[in-house]
Amino acid sequence: MAVLADQVSAPPHSIIVFNSLNWTRSGLVEFDLDPGWKIIDTVTQKTVPYELRSTKLSRRIRFLAERVPGVGYKVYRLERESAKADDSIETTTSELENSYYSLKLDPSSGAIRSIYDKELRREMVDTSSPYRFGQYVYVTGADDLPNRLVVYRTPSPFPELTPHGAGGGKVVSIVRSPVGMVAKLESSTTNTPCISSEIVLFDKEKKIELTYNLRKAEIFRKEGVYFAFPLALVHPTFRYEIQTTSIDPSLDMLQGAGLETFSVQHWISAREGQASATIMPLDAPIVALGDIVRGTFPTKFGQRNGNLFSFAMSNYHYDNWPGGEGGEFRFRYVFTSGADADPDALTRLGWEEATPFEIDEVTTQDKAVDFPRRFPPALSFVEVDRPDVLLQTWKLAEDGNGTILRFLNFGSQGGVVNVSIPLMQLKSAWLCTALEANRNAVPLKDSHRLAFEIQPHEIVTVRLQATSDRD
């Protein structure tokens, strides 16, 4: 990244924000910034507001980088100013609100009591549930053996499990920041003395971001850790993303498949009537639907309520599982809702949330001699004209002959994909196997552009050869 940054027209005291996904997008960026500096967007030449995150070990700030080109970058310039205050404003209300949602916090549990969707005009949280939305739940039990949860045998009894929801919590702060409303809460529960949660309600996007930092004791008795998301949907249908598509677990599972937990790629949605709600478990892909994991191992999906549980940790099993999990942990989730759950749009959002921007700070030592550079302050290295096609990989070919691009069509529509690589002088392109063996030549439109066919949910591998090694 530093080698690439050396070719960019970015003087010392610049921040280069890199976007590895192949579409223009906006996202949060964090870095250390000393007092007395301001951030300038080199495209708009406007000052960018930021939020002060921490001053304990360093002055950590966060800002919203807007419209960063796909498979490319955007330069932000740092300039001196006499004084720069935090652009955030602390408030005293316990409610968060924007044009999309109205949220009510539940300080005791360190979670959310209510999410009212203004567009749907309905409550999205099951307020009658024993759990709050995003509440940390620690489960004890399953130590008396044999039981069906630890070692599955039909004659074995079900374990007696006791959930312990986080409690004794408080609101630490609620701030109106440049990106939206930010609430920080703290709570605790059995064997988890510290649970710090942050809830971000964005001004310009219909989504809620939840981040948990927790300190947990190392326990060798049987335990399970969950985050509860009770949805106000009585008899919902579910759909979740897998590697190249999305499925309904009540219809699309093979006979004999496990129906107690489900492995989610980026998102899982629940829908009932004209309302759908989506959870993105970014760091804990296993989910349980309707209830926590009790070792029931159902043979039919059946009818389940809207209680969704992110199954974050456990030590129930003996093989390939740690005996105890203690220390500092971080879990992130994203919530959004709407009249319908568009799988393509959710997959794009899931990739964005799971693929944060990368940054490189240009210092005076990086560019002691500021001669003209090859690349402008904002640039896309690869342009793909399909919003449902993801460039997963761009790398050197294994045999050293050119570079390999691997594309995933996560949408349900096939057709032509047009790819433009402005800075490469292309000599040839080939469709390849997954092992990079050439199959068919791809005609070039010109020295910078090519096109190929892709089927729904297909992965396509392309080999590119340039006119010179320098390119």
Residues in CB range of 101: below 8 A, 6 or more apart? 115, 116, 117, 118, 201, 206, 208
Residue range of the domain that includes 445? 383-466
Q: What average pLDDT score do residues 27-49 get?
A: 94
What mean pLDDT, rounded, does the chain reach?
A: 93
Q: How far apart are CA 387 and CA 364, in angstroms?
A: 39
Tell whether 49 and 195 lie within a shared domain: no
| 86-95, 235-244, 432-441: the lowest-pLDDT one | 86-95
Give the model's pLDDT for residue 92. Answer: 61
Tell whether 304 and 422 lie within a shared domain: no
| 77-86, 87-96, 167-176: the lowest-pLDDT one | 87-96
Q: Residue 368 falls within a domain, yes or no?
A: no
Tell whether 143 and 252 lie within a shared domain: yes
Q: What average pLDDT score do residues 343-352 get?
A: 96
Report whether pLDDT(322) > 90.
no
Is-contact 137 163, C-beta < 8 A?
yes
Report whether pLDDT(333) > 80.
yes
Tell whether 290 and 396 lie within a shared domain: no
Give the model's pLDDT for residue 403. Answer: 96
Q: How many CB atoms lie within 10 A of CB 106?
A: 22
- The secondary element (H helix, E strand) that includes residue 28 is strand 25-32
Tell whether 344 and 396 lie within a shared domain: no
> At 460, is the pLDDT very low, low, confident or very high (cuts 50, 70, 90)?
very high
Q: For position 46, which CATH number holds? A: 2.60.40.1180
The last residue of a domain, from among 297, 327, 362: 362
Q: State how many domains the chain has.
A: 3
Residues in CB range of 297: below 8 A, 6 or more apart? 148, 152, 258, 259, 260
Tell whether 417 and 325 lie within a shared domain: no
Is-contact 338 120, C-beta < 8 A?
yes
Give the model's pLDDT for residue 83. Answer: 62
Is-contact 222 140, C-beta < 8 A?
yes
Q: What average pLDDT score do residues 188-194 get?
A: 98
Q: For position 347, which CATH number holds? A: 2.70.98.30
Q: How far apart are CA 244 and CA 247, in angstroms?
A: 10
Using alpha carbons, select from 412, 411, 407, 413 the residue that is nearest to residue 451: 407
Q: Residue 102 falls within a domain, yes or no?
A: yes
Give the model's pLDDT for residue 87. Answer: 63
Give the model's pLDDT for residue 399. Answer: 95
Q: Residue 308 falls within a domain, yes or no?
A: yes
> At 85, is the pLDDT very low, low, confident or very high (cuts 50, 70, 90)?
low
Q: How far apart are CA 277 and CA 232, in angstroms?
A: 9
The last residue of a domain, from among 362, 392, 407: 362
Q: Residue 183 falls within a domain, yes or no?
A: yes
Tell whether 346 and 431 lie within a shared domain: no
> At 11, is the pLDDT very low, low, confident or very high (cuts 50, 70, 90)?
confident
Is-contact 131 153, C-beta < 8 A?
no
Q: How far apart are CA 86 and CA 39, in angstroms?
A: 12
φ, ψ at 418 (rounded to 5°): -100, 125
Quick check: pTM over 0.85? Answer: yes
Residues in CB range of 32: below 8 A, 6 or more apart? 58, 59, 60, 61
Report whether pLDDT(398) > 80.
yes
Tell whether 232 and 296 lie within a shared domain: yes
* Percent of the chain scoring above 90 in pLDDT: 85
Structure confidence by residue, pLDDT tens digits, 118-141: 999 999 999 999 999 999 999 999
Q: Residue 268 falls within a domain, yes or no?
A: yes
Using alpha carbons, select from 193, 340, 369, 203 the residue that is nearest to residue 272: 340
- Two tokens at 232? 């106000």
Tell whether 131 and 266 lie within a shared domain: yes
More confident residue, 406 or 86: 406
Is-contact 239 268, C-beta < 8 A?
yes
The last residue of a domain, from among 362, 396, 415: 362
> At 367, is the pLDDT very low, low, confident or very high (cuts 50, 70, 90)?
confident
Q: How many CB atoms lie within 10 A of CB 239?
A: 22
Q: Residue 376 falls within a domain, yes or no?
A: no
Q: Residue 302 falls within a domain, yes or no?
A: yes
- Two tokens at 24? 């223009």
Q: Where are the alpha helices (DSSP H) in 186-320?
A: none
Structure confidence by residue, pLDDT tens digits, 159-172: 999 999 999 999 99
Q: Residue 377 falls within a domain, yes or no?
A: no
Residues in CB range of 10: below 8 A, 6 or more apart? 16, 42, 75, 77, 362, 367, 373, 377
Tell whether 79 and 106 lie within a shared domain: no
Structure confidence by residue, pLDDT tens digits, 40-78: 999 999 999 999 888 777 899 999 999 999 999 999 999
| 50-64, 231-245, 332-346, 421-435: the lowest-pLDDT one | 50-64
Tell whether 134 and 243 lie within a shared domain: yes
Give the model's pLDDT for residue 471. Answer: 44
Tell whether 429 and 309 lie within a shared domain: no
Residues in CB range of 138: below 8 A, 6 or more apart? 163, 164, 166, 189, 190, 191, 192, 223, 224, 225, 226
> At 88, is the pLDDT very low, low, confident or very high (cuts 50, 70, 90)?
low
Q: How far apart are CA 407 and CA 371, in angstroms?
A: 37
